[in-house]
Chains A and B, each alone.
Chain A
Amino acid sequence: MSTAHSDHDHPAHLAHHFETSAQQMESGKLGMWVFLATEILMFGGLFCAYAVYRANNPDVFLFAHRALDTTWGAINTAVLLASSFTMAWGVRAAQLGQKKLLIGLLIATLFGGAGFMLIKTVEYKAKWDHALFVGPSNAYYHDNGTLADPGEAAHSSEYIEKHGDTDGGHGGHGDDHGAGHGDAHAAGHGDSHAGDHGGDHGAQADAPAPAASKIAAPAAPPTGLHADLLTHKRPVLGAGESLSTGIGAIQASHKGSHYPAFTELDPLNTNRTHIFFQIYFAMTGLHGLHVLIGLGLISWICYRAGGPMTRALLVPGLFVSVGIYFVFVWWLVSANSGWFPTTALVAAVLCLIAGALWGAKNVALTKPNPDADSEFSPGYYTPVDCVGLYWHLVDLIWIFLFPLLYLIH
């Protein structure tokens, strides 16, 4: 269409049905804002599910959230905020026509987003290792109240309780999430757990397992895991008791820590322990998907903003980046058995080779071409602006996810 009407006063970027560039830009931005409203409502459903389950099962959330790594979460927040900053600066650069700076900032934003996904991978890996993953691979998962492997659940509980002690809840200063703290925890942790995962696991599974296989059957007399927990005689969050008394009671009962142990959870609520993780993965997973889409959009903007050399290197560069990511994944899981590490390695090698060859070919064939310049100018940068808005929304959602999931008190 635009070719049919592209004559004198219509610049190339102006679509046939708009009168002026300003009208086109305003329309684009209005459309983007409306689209962002739909995104917020979509995440709103998940926030709503979170609120319902947290309000109904506060102690489960207090207990289970300790499996999340506050340090990595905080670092990721900083990384994503920084990438939002480079994106905003990039929009400014586009407005001012600073083409080189724009490309540099977009690439910096890409690195921020990629770094976020890398750290998220580390976190997901830790959940996988401790049987706290999504769906039936979660140790607390059950169908009709029957745990598949009560021993595994006990093991995961032990991990969560220890993790909480070193990570956050520690002696009443929950705010003290220093860097040193995180390091100590990361180092000490990986080792000690790699050891006892195999060892203790079997032993524990044998001892209390048979009786513990039924959770949350309030009508039946308490057995197993909950027989233990009821002998503790802690004040449970009973029917009619208010939320705050419930939490207060739990906290008071658990000496030296802010958070309940698994055995201290209300037996009515323990069958929802895995729901915390399902919601965690639903929320962070959907957010991660948005980060990936954002990375794709930023790459597209970067391609359109670049000169011949940027365009020649961008797509091969993405392949190489994905290859590096798979190398990292392989390194993370190399100790595991099964098909996954090999697959990751094969994918990594393929991506790296493809990226390198393609890049070399493109560079060899690229000639400086003054016509293939940036599409954007101070008169036309709507796509940069819109992708920027999208990226800020992705950032903003994380800003809500981080405290809601990681920093529960």
Chain B
Amino acid sequence: MSVIPTNPSPPSAPGTDVVKAKKGLYGDEDNYITHGKGILSWLLTIDHKRIGLMYMVCVLAAFFIGGIFAIALRTELIWPGQTLMPWAEANTNWKLYNQLFSVHGAVMVFMFIIPAIPAILGNFALPIMLGAKDVAFPRLNLLSWYCYVGGSLFFLWILTGGVVGTLFGLENMPWYFPKGIDTGWTFYTPYSTDTNTGVILATMGVFVLGFASILTGVNFIATIHMLRPRNMGWDRLPLMLWSLYATSVIQILATPVLAITMLLLLAERVLGIGVFDPAKGGDPVLYQHFFWFYSHPAVYIMILPAMGVISEVISVFSRKHIFGYSFIAASSLAIALFGFIVWGHHMFTSGQSPLLNSVFSLLTMSVAVPSAVKVFNWLATMYNGKIRLDTPMIYALGFIWLFTIGGLTGLPLAALSTDIHYHDTYFVVAHFHYVMVGSTLFGFLAGMYYWWPKMTGKMYNEKAGQIWAWMVFAGFNLTFFIQFIAGSLGAPRRYADYDPRFWKYHFISTLGSYVLMIGLFGVLYNWVSSWRSGKKAPANPWGANTLEWHTPSPPPHANFEDGHEPEGVPPYDYDGWDYVSEEEGYVRKEGYVYQGH
């Protein structure tokens, strides 16, 4: 239900500023990026598009930090023995390794993967896809960004303390100089109640980051319910929005449980209440139940938005209506639902009752059904399509490939007997990296390339984009596929040193991680150079039909041009667009009428 802008947007800048703006990236064009000037116009903005861009900067920074730690920990493992700090005592080196994988996990999960697609692409695209002017609660949206930044500062504080402390061998530092975090990203008790590292700050950080996630979820649900335009029933909601809706439902129902878990852990550390500490009569398995009641659904918070992106990209780049729209939409909700009843599969070896194990094992297998529904529908969409292998599509195809491997290797982990063998080995590491990195990261990159022209108004270098995409794909597989083999041979995870017979697996994996890193820096370079000197993007470079492609790139401050009242359209009907080579993009056919309307 969007509104015709009631008055023309106010002139963006007086004369002097216009002259200045001409020197900038956008000339004197009035779009949401040039609409306000100065740092405060960003820090105090309630424009969802700008908040999306602010999230992009911060989340990519978090990805960079988490990536540095990943490279460091892979380097430690490149060959057996002490690698990173050969001059130090062995124990210091091993402790550093514990810090590396803990910070890598916590930063990547809480600061990168969970917010990546919803907070960047969702914030940017969701209201425009609905033809709305903004999300339902713009100020809460900004608050969400501040919660994200606030929570992230806790982690920066911790990891700075940990790295500096370890490198310079500082002991007995005051509390405001935390000793990093060495619990893994799961903060399992009783170790997390005993360790002298910065668990208190980390739990506070996670708690605050949780608020960012909840606020985004509340906003998306209210927006999708209340701000749909005329003629957009639930059957015309783009699949990206269906998956963001399902994601929001999980964020709202699961994140508060993480919040109370973190509060109890905080009370445990600060007040010593002992509910999770067996020495004090508490129950550490209860902690695991609480933790995974959030953190398993959180896996679907990560993957569902990526599936939404893939549904858009596959259909657009196959030039074909999505196959099985209602099944893909329903399978998103089904995954959200199933996600809540499978958490026990993280605890098969925790001494849980055999009955419970069997039930969780069975339920876990059931997640395969909606996941497979999606994969088969994407394949059916591509069948007989006119496939264009642009960069977003390469990532989307990579997603299908990697998600299939990640999903299928989940089955031996869901089956009780094989899980006993694979538990805590590199097989698990490879499995969840295939699902979280191979799928979510690829979905994120597909979405970033797909909406990049819309967000920045610039085209990127297509050739370079494709080359880097293949490099990322190769580097990823080189890093992680070999870990399946190492894991099934019994290589245990989370150890800083290993039996020399695993040397070649670790060596290849580490080399792969360097290739992956170079590929990702290439992607970053591709984006930066596009933003600085890319060609101006047409309104619709891909010929997609969701509403964000019905407005200029980048969109004006009010999302749509004055007098354009968006209304719901069949999102996957591409027949109304013609490619016009002068525009280097698609232009609407005059008087096109959607079939059946």
Q: Which residues of A contact B (CB under 8 A)?
A: 1, 4-5, 7-10, 15-19, 23, 26-27, 30-31, 34-35, 37-39, 41-46, 48-49, 52-53, 134-136, 141-145, 216, 271-275, 278-279, 281-282, 286
Contacts and interface: CB of A to CB of B under 8 A. Distances in A.
Contacts of A274: 274, 280-281
A278 B273 contact: yes
Nearest to B283: A52
A1 B260 CA distance: 36
Given A15-B138, A19-B1, A141-B280, A34 B222 contact: yes
Interface string B227-265: 100000000000000000000000011111101110110
Contacts of A27: 136-137, 222, 225-227
A192 B256 CA distance: 44
B48 to A, nearest CB: 9
B214 A38 contact: yes
Interface residues of B, number: 52
Contact of B275 (A4, A7, A26, A278): A278
The 5 closest A-B pairs by CB, nearest first: A45-B260, A42-B256, A135-B271, A17-B133, A278-B273
Interface stretch (B4-12, B331-339, B422-430, B530-538): B4-12
Nearest to B293: A45
Contacts of A37: 252-253
A286 B256 CA distance: 13
A97 B185 CA distance: 52
A313 to B, nearest CB: 28
B68 to A, nearest CB: 34
27 contacts: A10-B6, A16-B133, A17-B135, A17-B136, A17-B138, A17-B227, A19-B3, A26-B226, A27-B226, A31-B219, A31-B222, A34-B217, A34-B218, A37-B253, A38-B218, A41-B253, A44-B260, A45-B256, A53-B275, A134-B271, A135-B273, A143-B279, A274-B280, A274-B281, A278-B273, A278-B274, A282-B273
Nearest to A37: B252
A10 B256 CA distance: 36
A136 B1 contact: no
Given A27-B137, A35-B214, 15 more contacts: A1-B46, A1-B138, A4-B10, A5-B6, A17-B136, A27-B226, A30-B221, A31-B221, A42-B260, A44-B260, A46-B260, A46-B264, A135-B273, A141-B274, A273-B281
Interface in B110-148: 127, 132-138, 140
Nearest to A29: B222
Contacts of A144: 279
A44 B257 contact: yes
A43 B281 contact: no
A143 B260 contact: no
A293 to B, nearest CB: 14
Contacts of B283: 52-53
B229 to A, nearest CB: 10
A24 to B, nearest CB: 9
B281 A134 contact: no
Contacts of B135: 17
A238 B227 CA distance: 59
A86 to B, nearest CB: 28
A43 B3 CA distance: 40
B24 interface: no
B289 to A, nearest CB: 8
A141 B277 CA distance: 12
A30 B225 contact: yes
Contact of B290 (A18, A45, A286): A45
Contacts of B274: 141, 274-275, 278
B9 A49 contact: no
A34 B134 contact: no
B286 interface: yes
B272 interface: yes
A9 B3 CA distance: 12
Contacts of A15: 138
B282 interface: yes
A37 B251 CA distance: 11
A26 B274 CA distance: 43
Contacts of B221: 30-31, 34
B267 interface: yes
Nearest to A34: B218
